[in-house]
Amino acid sequence: MNIENSSIVNIENATVEFKKGTIGTITTYQFDTSKGGHPMVNAMAGLAVLKDDEQLIMLNHCAPTGLFPKIEDEFDHAEQELPNGLTQIVFTKKQEAQNTTDFSATSCGGGCD
């Protein structure tokens, strides 16, 4: 997915570059941890700023299975393997989510599918 009108934004606690722009009319944040940069730390940092009707796109070398149980009450996610071998995960906030995610829970404990 190509983000239009993107610019680099500062995301607290992130260890990689984040971009913010739009895809269609949806405000979109994107980051890439496929070459390093602590996937769990950056996913939690990005999810912490996500508002209703926004999305977060993560590019990684695999789907971070340790992350999904930590966020499942508040966020939906969709995974797609890309032709270049990377995995793209798109996160959206659930409607009427209760804001229960502990964004400081950045230890992995999982791995890849």
> DSSP of 3-57, one letter per residue?
PEEEEEE--TT-SS-EEEEEETTEEEEEEE-TTSS-HHHHHHHHHHH--TTEEEE
Per-residue pLDDT of the chain (113 residues; tens, 9 = 90+): 789 999 999 999 999 999 999 999 999 999 999 998 899 999 999 999 999 999 999 999 999 999 999 999 999 999 999 999 999 999 999 988 888 898 888 886 656 65
Q: pTM to 2 decimals?
A: 0.92
Residue 26 CB neighbour total at 10 angstroms: 13
Q: CA-CA distance, 5 to 37, in Å (whole number)? A: 24
Q: Where are the domains of the chain?
A: 4-86
CB atoms within 10 A of CB 55: 18
